[in-house]
Homo-oligomer: A and B are copies of this chain.
Amino acid sequence: MTIDSLVDAGMNDLISDLQALIRQPSVSAKKVGLVECANLVAKMMQKAGINSEVLYLDDDDKTVPPIVYGEVKSRANPAAKTLLFYNHYDVQPEEPLELWEDEPFSGTVKDNKVFGRGSADDKGELITRIKAVEYFLKETGDVPCNIKFMVEGEEEVGSVHVEQYLKKYEEKLACDGVIWEFGYVDAKDRPIISLGMKGLLYVELIATGPSRDAHSSLAVLIENPAWRLVSALSTMRDEKSGRVTIKDWYKEVRPFTKQELAVISREPFDEGEFKNEYGIRRFVAGARGKDAKKALVGMPTCNIAGFDSGYIGEGAKTVLPARARAKIDFRLVPGMVPERQLARLKRHLKDHGFSDIQVNFIHGEAAARTPISDPFVKKVDEAARKAFGSSIRSVSSAGTGPMYSFVKVLKAPCISVGSTYMFARIHSPNEFARIDLLNKCTKCMGRIIEKFAAQDTLG
């Protein structure tokens, strides 16, 4: 039994549903269109035969974006195991606008691509899963295992309430395995079966200068907050090695296991192509080969996501700004606790004479990894190999997601597999989803559903 021919026949439908999702902007950072998008997702699920509900964390306070819950019970095997699809309906901000070739929320189709903010991350992924269930029901009138959906609306701002949602709806969301919200496909069309996610500590550092912008001639007496911030930042990271220089930053980082090192060794990584894609000539600290791969899956970072101060328009305005602000994201790896790292950052600033710099905590999230030995890994891998022709295993994604919360609350293994071309410009202008990969991924999801229902005798 496969749903492959229904998937092929239904591609126009899938694309048109994806366009409908893209055309409903849902930018969590700006709180734009979130409820509207949740309602649209719920409606789309209903249309597919999935029972759906829009659930709030607190029905009396709807300021927190809702989740969409979806459910299909197996009529033939009501006691079967339960597979949960985790996705998100929110997207990154569309800026910088001037670099988009089409409107960010147009869903324009060109050649093999659907363009638009969210086309890949995560509306493209979501649609493949909804369609897989729809075609399963269409083909067989049933599903072989119980299936649930949990689609949140704050993933792009750090899944702020996902753990509270998981706890509140713990029974409803109970499951035996989670298919994570995204999955990359490499340049040779091989899906990457990723078993972990890095954590994140996101902060704003704010330096305050004079009580208002001043004439820059006064820089001779008034300390410039942009200089304060530059000086503070320059103590936090070693330019050459790319390592964070905050005391004890790496204290709890555990070495890779032998099994992890073996997976890392086998994982293909085309350095030249990666560098070409981003127009760079070398990696941080000159990393190459296995070191570059180890860095991707297991190295913490300290990234300046934004810096603003003073006059940033054209011309030569001579101003001494009243304020300087940097938005910093630190990626964390298993063992690192966001709250502890935040305390280390604050102590670092104080110890280095920068106690005047305000640290605003924006978000923290621990890292998680599903063990390579979990039987779920093999099933997903086999499904992916059948649908895509091959697959790659990866110890962890370089990105962050609330996997730790899922593991902690639902106690189920999480695996990431999906349809996102690795150079699909997610989070950037001209984000796109590749139509051929949407097709293969929907087929892959069908196979995962089928395999998940089977007994684990071959573990």
* Interface residue ranges, A against B (CB under 8 Å): 28-30, 92-93, 95-96, 99, 156-158, 198, 200, 202, 209-224, 226-228, 230-231, 233-234, 237, 239, 242, 274, 278-280, 282-284, 287, 292, 295-296, 299, 301-321, 324-327, 329, 331, 362-363, 397-400, 425-429
Contacts and interface: CB of A to CB of B under 8 A. Distances in A.
Contacts of A295: 220-221
Given A219-B301, A234-B231, A316-B29, A209 B280 contact: yes
Contacts of A283: 221-223
A217 B95 contact: no
A221 B95 contact: no
26 contacts: A93-B313, A156-B317, A198-B217, A209-B280, A210-B278, A211-B279, A216-B305, A216-B331, A217-B400, A219-B302, A220-B296, A221-B283, A223-B242, A223-B283, A223-B284, A224-B304, A227-B304, A228-B239, A230-B233, A306-B310, A306-B311, A306-B319, A308-B308, A308-B312, A310-B327, A318-B329
Given A304-B230, A309-B307, A318-B329, A284 B221 contact: yes
A317 B278 contact: no
Contacts of A29: 313-317
Count copies of this chain in the complex: 2
A253 to B, nearest CB: 13
B239 A427 contact: no
A212 B363 CA distance: 25
B362 A316 contact: yes
A426 B216 CA distance: 11
Contact of A212 (B226, B302, B317, B428): B428
A219 B317 contact: no
A220 B309 contact: no
A214 to B, nearest CB: 6
A220 to B, nearest CB: 5
Contact of A224 (B223, B230, B303, B312): B303
A71 B230 CA distance: 50
The 7 A-B residue pairs with the shortest CB-CB distance, nearest first, are A211-B279, A29-B315, A234-B234, A226-B304, A219-B303, A306-B310, A210-B278
A399 B218 CA distance: 8
Contacts of A274: 221
Given A198-B217, A212-B425, A312 B317 contact: no
Contacts of A230: 230, 233-234, 304, 307
Contacts of A313: 29-30, 93, 95, 306
Nearest to A362: B316
Contacts of A362: 315-316
B222 A280 contact: yes
Contact of A316 (B157, B223, B316): B157
A311 B93 contact: yes
A439 to B, nearest CB: 24
Contact of A309 (B95, B306, B425): B306
A305 B315 contact: no
Contact of A303 (B242, B301, B320, B331): B320
A306 B321 contact: yes
